Amino acid sequence: MTATLSPLLQPLRRLRRGRAATRRRAHPSRALFVGFALAIALGATLLMLPIATESGVSTPFTVALFTATSAVCVTGLIVVDTPEHWSTFGEIVILVLFQVGGLGIMTAASVLGLLVSRRFGLRLQLTAHAERRTLGIADLKRILINVVKISLLIEAILTVVLTARLALGHGAPFGEALYTGLFHAVSAFNHAGFSLYSDSLTRFVSDPWITVPIMTAVILGGLGFPVLFELARNARNPRQWSLHSKITVLTTVALLVVGFGAILAVEWSNPDTMGPLGVGGKLLAGLFASVTSRSAGFNTVDTAAMEPATLMVLDVLMFIGGGSGGTAGGIKVTTFALLAFVILAEVRGEPSVHVMGRRLPAEVQRQALTIALLGVGLVMVSTITLLNMTDYDLDRVLFEVISAFATCGLSTGITGDLPPAGTLLLTALMFLGRLGPITAAAALALRDRPRKYELPEDRPIVG
């Protein structure tokens, strides 16, 4: 009987295998990885050209690859001094790379496809959905256009403010002020952390006309586009916000306040950081450090001179990162907040997790736990590996690893002195840190494999 039916079942089996292969090829996670990898490869190729350097000498492959990865993954870690090593052409290449990386490779591709053909395939829709974590696909065209509009609008406003301040307040020629203002505006909103100043923004530590607009752009980019869309519609009525927006805004504010207070408390009298500043300068520097540690990568005081306790505070803030669907990295504030709610419910002995009048599904709790533990595991393995490669202490190595994983860009100054293997490790970590939480969340959300049966329950001892 089996032999008789076998020829009849072969077409069905081939059809199933074809469908399975199509699902594997169409998975948005794979498309995202390929898109970002292609952008990095193209960027590295352009940065290796002699025209991309001030000296006219071709840049080594590892340096070009690291810089391109840092730009596309909007990290900001560097192994060469940006204004000293790269020419104007090289700086523009870096600018384009972190603009593309900030918007998302497939988001930009979706917008381009819309302008050309006015139509989308399911694969493209799901890919853009995974990158930006928007909450619906039906109005994807409008959402993608609004993403670009909001990004360009915020960057344009910040460019005008920075250009005016640099030209009028610091005496820079208008052309130089415009170029510098544009570069830092795009870098700030996209959380890229690249600067045209060798000391980042330390020269502006007490200048609120530079630091406050940059902090504002960093916060807006870190909230995420789904939250920005909702705030634009219902800014005056928080009760109508979605649970996601409420959690993102409240957790972001809480982390900014806690980070601000902790950094001030430790660094207030540090003679190498905030000690020489006045009260106003200290408050501004502390707030800037708290804001930019959420994945922006700029600094107005010397990070390498900070106390070990401050570095640990920054480690935590960097690892958490910003909001889902934004330009920030890390495991995301919603992941952190959801885990906190799960712990609170368990401590209270409640059978389910309730947040702001809503019950959290069990699968969402598992997704948050999975993303957080994967991040911890990746950071731990990378830290141990880098410690074995170098003679640096744990504080500096752990800080560098978390900064790469969370695509933050802050550094204690050891990145440029790492061996080639260490540089490649951080390169891979930036790539995985940028795409890992996004693709893991997309894969977990899209994966639905119900069990056909359940095994008998048993309870191992916990604790």
pLDDT truncated to tens, each residue of the chain (463 aa)?
445 445 544 554 554 555 444 444 445 556 667 788 899 999 999 999 999 999 999 999 999 999 999 999 888 899 999 999 999 999 999 999 999 888 765 564 444 444 434 444 444 444 444 444 444 444 566 767 777 888 899 999 999 999 999 999 999 999 999 999 999 999 999 888 899 999 899 999 999 999 999 999 999 888 877 788 788 777 778 788 888 888 999 999 999 999 999 999 999 999 999 999 999 999 999 999 999 998 888 999 999 999 999 999 999 999 998 887 777 888 889 889 999 999 998 888 888 888 888 888 887 888 888 888 889 999 999 999 999 999 999 999 999 999 999 988 899 989 988 999 999 999 999 988 887 665 555 555 555 566 666 767 666 766 6
The answer to the question of residue 187 being in a domain is yes
- State how far the alpha carbon of 394 is from the alpha carbons of 164, 168, 290, 314, 384, in Å: 43, 44, 22, 14, 9
* Predicted local distance difference test score (pLDDT) of residue 228: 81
| Residues 323, 329: Cα–Cα separation, whole Å | 8
Asked if residues 408 and 318 have their Cβ atoms less than 8 Å apart, the reply is: yes
Residue 328 falls within a domain, yes or no? Answer: yes
Q: Residue 156 is encoded by which pair of tokens? A: 């344009």
Whether residue 455 lies inside any domain: the answer is: no
Distance CA 12, CA 57 (A): 59
Percent helix, strand, coil in the chain (nearest 5)? 70, 0, 30
36 in a domain, yes or no?
A: yes
Helix extents (H) in 349-461: 362-389, 394-405, 420-446
Cβ neighbourhood burial of 451 (10 Å; 0-12, 13-18, 19+): exposed
Q: Which amino acid is at 335?
A: T
Distances from the Cα of 177 to the Cα of 96, 159, 160, 322, angstroms: 19, 9, 10, 29
Q: Which residues pair with 359 in a beta bridge?
A: 354
User: Measured between alpha carbons, how far is 97 from 116 in angstroms, rounded to an integer?
Assistant: 22
Structural domain includes residue 461: no
pLDDT value of residue 382: 94
Tell whether 23 is covered by a domain.
no
What pLDDT was estimated at residue 355? 84
Q: What are phi and psi of 355, to 5 degrees?
A: -135, 115
Could you give the 3-state DSSP secondary structure of residue 53?
strand
How many domains are contained in the chain? 1
- For residue 266, being part of any structural domain is answered with yes
Residue 149: give the domain boundaries.
28-446
| 5 is a domain residue | no
Nearest to 401 by CA among 102, 101, 77: 77
pLDDT of 133 reads 44
State the pTM of this model. 0.84
* Residue 342 DSSP SS3: helix
